[in-house]
Amino acid sequence: MCTGFSFYTKQNHHYLARTMDFAFEFNGIPTVVPRDFKYDFDLEDALQLTYGFVGTNLKVGRYRFGDGINEQGLAISNHYFTGEASYCKHKRYGYFNLAPEEFIVWVLGFVKNIADLKQKAAHINILNEKNTTLNIVPPLQFMITDKTGHTATVEPRNGRVIIKDNHVNVLTNAPSVEWHIENLRNYAFLSPTKTAYPIVGKILTRPMGIEAGTNGLPGGYTSTERFVRASYLRQQLHSATDESQNLNNCFKLLDSVSIPKGAVLDGGTPHYTQYQLVMDSETLTFYIKPYSTNQIFSLTLTEEILTQKEMVFFPLKQEIQFTPLKNTKD
């Protein structure tokens, strides 16, 4: 059901990283929507977008994006919010009315940072519109970051957009982010170092290995367990001087919350991590790693690609690649 986190490095690179977990096969394709593109919304007239962006285009009927980053360095991901998200049942006069999955397009197309979002979102109304391919009204919440490192959670409440600063920089699924943060108090004992040797009676007890400080770190795939695990690991994540290492560290953290096929079933169908994604707000680069490959694919928003006339699709060649070892003495 998706895990996301943001991470700010010593070199002022700001990353939004996420897993996309679902049973329905999305077959996501990285897609660039160019600057000034005229986008057809479901409930409103077509509008010319201000900013271009790249996102993961999900095959669920019309163009639907699960995440993306725009040319201003604003990045967003969606997360299921079952039992919590609520939408308006009718259009509101004087508001821009959106289907739940269109919120990402609106944000990436018209918003430059979170301060800008807080002003513009007051005029947004999200409706209770069913996705006919999934046959549900997607219950969504969103994680958003900008170039400054500011991170926020967005929750739809009766169609209105509620924006909450997210100082933990992690988001999973229901319950609310406040509940998850309160729950972290149950894990305040977690530490990357082992505890001192306590004396029990007359016995000096030794911790079970140097990893003893992480004893009690949840290992399951529920929303609550993933939130705790991601929060702890993100807090301890090493910030390197080499950005390629920081990017690699982000993917390593995503590995720790990713669901392998078969570990979770939804009506007999594997519910698994279909792809991992990291977006760099500084370089405007989109890094995606699908489940069926060990390769990371990247795409940077350049002026050339942002000024295309139509949407540009980048199908992914999913294959496992191995590098043969060579004898250096030969």
Cis peptide, bond prior to residue 175, ω within 30 of zero: yes
Which of these is catalytic: 2, 33, 174, 259? Answer: 2
Q: Please indicate, yes or no, if residue 236 is contained in any of the structural domains.
A: yes
pLDDT for the residue numbered 258: 97
pLDDT for the residue numbered 196: 66
Integer distance in angstroms from the first to the last C-alpha of the chain?
A: 49
Tell me the CATH number at 133. 3.60.60.10
Distances (CA, A) of 306 to 32, 185, 195, 280, 299: 8, 45, 53, 17, 12
pLDDT for the residue numbered 160: 95
Contact 104, 49 (CB under 8 A): no
Model confidence at 176: pLDDT above 80: yes
Q: Please indicate, yes or no, if residue 112 is contained in any of the structural domains.
A: yes
Q: Please indicate, yes or no, if residue 324 is contained in any of the structural domains.
A: no
The mean per-residue pLDDT over the stretch 191-219 comes to 78
Q: What residue type is assigned to position 163 of the chain?
A: I
- What proportion of the chain, given as a percentage, has pLDDT over 70? 95
Average pLDDT of every residue of the chain: 92
Model confidence at 194: pLDDT above 80: no
Question: Is beta strand 124-126 parallel, antiparallel or unpaired with respect to 297-300?
Answer: unpaired
Model confidence at 56: pLDDT above 70: yes
Q: Please indicate, yes or no, if residue 8 is contained in any of the structural domains.
A: yes
Q: At what angle do helices 243-257 and 223-236 cross, to 10 degrees?
A: 160
Rg of the chain, C-alpha, whole Å: 21
Q: Please indicate, yes or no, if residue 152 is contained in any of the structural domains.
A: yes
Query: Which of 13-17, 75-79, 179-183, 325-329 is predicted with the least confidence, judged by mean pLDDT?
Result: 325-329
Contact 73, 34 (CB under 8 A): no
Instruction: Name the band, by pLDDT with cuts 50, 70 and 90, for residue 296.
Output: very high
Q: Please indicate, yes or no, if residue 279 is contained in any of the structural domains.
A: yes
E strand or H helix that includes residue 182 = helix 177-183
Q: Which residue range forms the structural domain that includes residue 111?
A: 4-189+222-313
pLDDT for the residue numbered 108: 98
The mean per-residue pLDDT over the stretch 40-67 comes to 89
Spatial separation of the C-alpha atoms in residues 260 and 13, rounded to whole Å: 29
Model confidence at 221: pLDDT above 90: yes
**203, β-bridge pairs:** 200
Contact 111, 103 (CB under 8 A): no
Give the DSSP per-residue string, 198-225. Answer: -EETTEEPPPSSTTGGGTT---S-SHHH
Q: Please indicate, yes or no, if residue 144 is contained in any of the structural domains.
A: yes
Which has more pLDDT, 203 or 301?
Answer: 301
pLDDT for the residue numbered 60: 67
The mean per-residue pLDDT over the stretch 4-27 comes to 93
Catalytic site includes residue 250: no
Model confidence at 74: pLDDT above 90: yes
pLDDT digits (tens, 9 = 90+) for 250-295: 999 999 999 999 999 999 999 999 999 999 999 999 999 999 999 9
pLDDT for the residue numbered 111: 98
Distances (CA, A) of 292 to 27, 58, 91, 266, 319: 11, 17, 41, 20, 6
Q: Of 258, 259, 277, which is closest to residue 66 (Cα–Cα)?
A: 277
Spatial separation of the C-alpha atoms in residues 279 and 69, rounded to whole Å: 7
Tell me how many domains the chain contains.
1
CB contact burial 150-180 (16+ within 10 A = b; e otherwise): bbbbbbbeebbbebeebebbbbbbbbebeeb
Q: Please indicate, yes or no, if residue 261 is contained in any of the structural domains.
A: yes
pTM of the model: 0.93
Spatial separation of the C-alpha atoms in residues 259 and 172, rounded to whole Å: 13
Spatial separation of the C-alpha atoms in residues 116 and 207, rounded to whole Å: 50
pLDDT digits (tens, 9 = 90+) for 129-166: 888 877 889 999 999 999 998 999 999 999 999 999 99
pLDDT for the residue numbered 330: 61
Model confidence at 297: pLDDT above 70: yes
